[in-house]
Amino acid sequence: MAVYTEVTDEALSAFLTDYDIGQGVSLKGIAEGVENTNYMLFTEQGPFILTLYEKRVEAADLPFFLGLMEHLAEHNVACPTPIHGRDGAVLRELCGRPAAVTSFLSGVSPVRPSPKQCAGVGAALARLHLAGSGYTTRRANALSHAGWRQLFELSAPGANDVEPGLADMLDREIDHLDANWPTDLPAGVIHADLFPDNVFFERERLTGLIDFYFACNDYLIYDLAICLNAWCFEPDLSFNVTKARLMTAAYRRERSISQAEIDALPLLTRGAAVRFLVTRLYDWLNQVEGALVKPKDPMEYVRKLRFHQSVLNTAAYGIE
Amino acid sequence: MAVYTEVTDEALSAFLTDYDIGQGVSLKGIAEGVENTNYMLFTEQGPFILTLYEKRVEAADLPFFLGLMEHLAEHNVACPTPIHGRDGAVLRELCGRPAAVTSFLSGVSPVRPSPKQCAGVGAALARLHLAGSGYTTRRANALSHAGWRQLFELSAPGANDVEPGLADMLDREIDHLDANWPTDLPAGVIHADLFPDNVFFERERLTGLIDFYFACNDYLIYDLAICLNAWCFEPDLSFNVTKARLMTAAYRRERSISQAEIDALPLLTRGAAVRFLVTRLYDWLNQVEGALVKPKDPMEYVRKLRFHQSVLNTAAYGIE
């Protein structure tokens, strides 16, 4: 939950004159997205989302993100579509920040995803990967495998305060990932952060994907590894193989995956757990007094990583 | 900004079966109201507001507030209308808290109210007072003049840390208010917290009043004194008599005020300043580590009080 920048009615009115969506009739700061300020904006034409990009998002990356959302929406992926201003631009400035208006998507994020919702995410992820293949702009993964060692080392001195032995375990894990990381898997645009917060449903029907601000180019199957981590653990952190089976099967019905991708999956699920563990560990050890957003407990991903370390083969993820 | 209670999609679905407003299609926590949790709720029938009442609101007072909103809406005051469930009730429980669904009002709260908006508030306040006269349920003002001494004494030991001499000044001010507080002015239902945050406009047109959770029975003209404090000071805390003149004139066009009310106004504006000063002072001196809402600076109301103390007659408020 975070509204970092307050938009006055005067600033909103002036901003909307650059668009052809009518005058603003309501603006409510919403608790969505921790990196940016988001408003639910009603104009005479209905609801929209107004996003002001705060400092954690690189302004230079915004054309990639907004272009991707537009490309995906044109290719029938349910996601926010940037609204063009009268001058054709989708990105402009509001209250000193880069800002964009996007279409409003109905649906509610699940707090405890159902098996059927996990299947829906698998299918939507595959369709995103297929639709993304025509998007020619590229963005390197700023949180890719190559950077985990460096990120971890920033937190290594405090890691054992989170759990005794954690520094050593992570050190060895990153060595293992470095030694075994695949070098040639199908790659393309990935969402890279498709947590339940970022997926809307109306009951069991998936209505949209949001928050593309980590999207980048990387192995497609790594995106599925992120989703297995984000969707298939129960609140007690036991792994629900039924959900994993439904998710991977739904993915494969939309996009066929190679034997090399299947073989890499157990390593990539470990990698995905490490990716979220190293950023959460850093945020946990570097908490800002009075911050609007409380950092997430890194222990969740320590336990998820331990599960993946114990996996013998892809049957554990419902792939046989 | 505050979303204290997270509502899951399952809890929402179950909750909405008690209503006849269709199924939920979107739920977004909004930064509105510091005492309660508010969601923008879309059902198949359109937008609504879902409020969960947190501990700062007395559950026993909720029937008064919700009944008042319904009464006012029936009498053409633009305010949220509580939605009745299938069983007729407007108040039920969600996630362990009392909860209600109300109608959605368009409009945006002004950050810097214009003179015309001040006139709009004056007129709307008078219409609220007239419409409230038929509402027979009563609620004593929990933050009335009678309680300021006691509230101040809780903060007196720290007051001089906020500003040297503040404790003495407030002590003498409350003595003065006690000695001169009027005993027989027209009374009725007042909003008691009609700050710009709680009023919506579409450009200059007032579209609604919200947040009736301080409403109570007290002198009607005291409510106008609160609005003079809340709307007619500029950001540099100079008093804008043009705004005051427009506000009081618009009020008087809707509801005629007696000479006794006019005579009492300078004292009541001091009282209104003290009411917000003593609560802000208390919240300022008793800040909770990690609270979601940052307390407001009490010095704003010290300076407003000093202005009112310097006033010689009602001409200062545009009443001649």
Any domain includes A66: yes
The set of residues, in sequence order, having a beta carbon less than 8 Å from that of A9 and lying 6+ positions away, is A24, A27, B108, B109, B110, B111, B201
Kindly list the strands in the beta sheet with A37-43, ordered across the sheet, starting from the edge strand earlier in the chain. A24-29, A37-43, A46-52, A97-103, A92-94
Region at B96 (left for phi over 0; alpha for psi -120 to 50; beta for the rest): left
Using the 3D structure, point to which of A103, A130, A160 is the last residue of a domain. A103
B295 touches chain A (CB under 8 A): no
Residue B3 covered by a domain: no
Residue A110 lies in a domain: no
Closest CA to A220 of A183, A188, A254: A188
CATH number at residue A33: 3.30.200.20
- Whether pLDDT at B178 is above 50: yes
For residues A79 and A157, state if they share a domain: no
CB B29 within 8 A of CB B39: yes
pLDDT at B1 over 50: no
Q: Residues A238-260: what's their mean pLDDT?
A: 97
pLDDT computed for residue B194 by the predictor: 98
Residue where a domain terminates, one of B53, B82, B103: B103
B195 shares a domain with B165? yes
Picking from A52, A71, A103, the residue at the C-terminal end of a domain is A103
**pLDDT bucket at B2, cuts 50 / 70 / 90:** low
Residues B43 and B152 in one domain: no
Of the CA atoms within 13 Å of residue B125, those in its CB half-sphere come to 36
**For position A150, which CATH number holds?**
3.90.1200.10
B161 shares its domain with B71: no
Give the chain A residue nearest B28 (alpha carbons).
A30
Is residue B320's pLDDT more than 90?
no
- Across chain A, what does the average pLDDT equal? 94
Say if residue B131 is in the same domain as residue B262: yes
pLDDT given for residue A1 in this prediction: 44
Of B42, B104, B108, the CB nearest to A106: B42
Q: What's the mean pLDDT in A251-278?
A: 97
Burial grade of B43 (CB within 10 A; 0-12, 13-18, 19 or more): buried
Residue B248 covered by a domain: yes
Span B232-257, pLDDT tens digits: 999 999 999 999 999 999 999 999 99
DSSP B19: S
Cβ pair A23:B203 closer than 8 A: yes
Contacts of A51 in chain B (CB under 8 A): none
- Residue-range definition of the domain harbouring residue A309: 115-317
Domain count, chain B: 2
In a domain, residue B270? The reply is yes
* Residue at B2 is within a domain: no
Is A63's Cβ below 8 Å from some Cβ in B?
no
**B299 part of contact set with chain A, CB < 8 Å:** no
- For the cut 80, the answer to whether the pLDDT of residue A34 exceeds it is no
Higher pLDDT, A313 or B290: A313
Confirm or reject contact between A44 and chain B (CB < 8 A): no
Cα distance between residue B167 and residue B84, in whole Å: 48
pLDDT digits (tens, 9 = 90+) for B31-81: 877 678 999 999 999 999 999 998 878 889 999 999 999 999 999 999 999
A 194-233 near B (Cβ less than 8 A): 200-203, 207
Q: Are residues A61 and A197 in the same domain?
A: no
A306 and A176 in a common domain: yes
Answer yes or no: is B257 within a domain.
yes
**Do residues A219 and A86 share a domain?**
no
Q: Find chain A residues with C-beta within 8 A of B52's C-beta.
A: none
pLDDT tens readout for residues B254-292: 999 999 999 999 999 999 999 999 999 999 998 876 666
Kindly provide the ipTM of the predicted complex, given to two decimals: 0.75
Q: Are residues B80 and B119 in the same domain?
A: no
**CB atoms B25 and A202 under 8 Å:** yes
Chain B residues close to A1, C-beta within 8 Å: 1, 3, 29, 31
C-beta of residue A92 within 8 angstroms of C-beta of residue A84: no
CA distance A212 to A199: 11
CA distance A269 to A9: 46
Are A66 and A131 in the same domain? no
| Interface touch A9/B200, C-beta < 8 Å | no
A153 assigned to some structural domain = yes
Q: Let me know whether B232 and B311 are in one domain.
A: yes
pTM comes to 0.84
| Cβ neighbour number for residue B307 with a 10 Å cutoff | 17
In this complex, which of A27, A104, A111 lies closest to B108 when CB atoms are compared? A27
Residues A301, A195 share a domain: yes
Interface contact flag, B30 A13, Cβ < 8 Å: no
User: CB contact, 8 Å: B31 with chain A?
Assistant: yes
In chain B, which residues have their Cβ closer than 8 Å to the Cβ of A6?
Answer: 111
